[in-house]
Amino acid sequence: NGLAIGAVVGREEMVESLRANSISTFGGNPLATTGALANLDFIEEAHLQENAYKVGSFLMRGLKDLEDRYDVVGEVRGKGLMIGVEMVTDGASKTPDPKAANRAMEVARERGLLVGRGGLYGNVLRLSPPLTITEEDAARAIETLDVAFGEVQRG
């Protein structure tokens, strides 16, 4: 919604151990808190947590299938809709391959799919679609990555 808001969340014993002597510049801002509440209401009403689990599981299964098919995919890992795909030189050595990640990103982008890149060696593709993604959109992403991984593997 474009409104700045923050929160501190922690276990009760941790929060209770802090002295209440701090101040906040924007503490209690009615506009920001109203916007935050509207967002939380939408997340619940649209069942976005359930959608993240359902579509994330679908996406993970599809990407695991690609992991089995392509030597350049070392590992697929993640939770919900936050997924990483590790690109490697080959399935045996699993040597990190940032060039393969760059090429896969390029091919995916050319086909309309934006993915990020990260990891210690810059060889992990990062997928983090919106909570509103559909299985149909996830299937298109899998198809696009299938093409991208195929091009990377062929060199």
The residue ranges of every structural domain in the chain are 49-154
Which one is the CATH code of 49-154: 3.60.15.10, 3.90.1150.10, 3.30.930.10, 2.60.40.10? 3.90.1150.10
Instruction: Read off the pTM.
Output: 0.84
Extract long-range pairs of 92-96: CB within 8 Å, 24+ residues apart: 96/120, 96/121, 96/122, 96/123
d(C-alpha 39, C-alpha 35), whole Å: 6
pLDDT tens for 24-83 read: 766 778 898 899 999 999 999 999 999 999 999 999 999 999 999 999 999 999 999 999
Please tell me the predicted confidence (pLDDT) of residue 22: 65
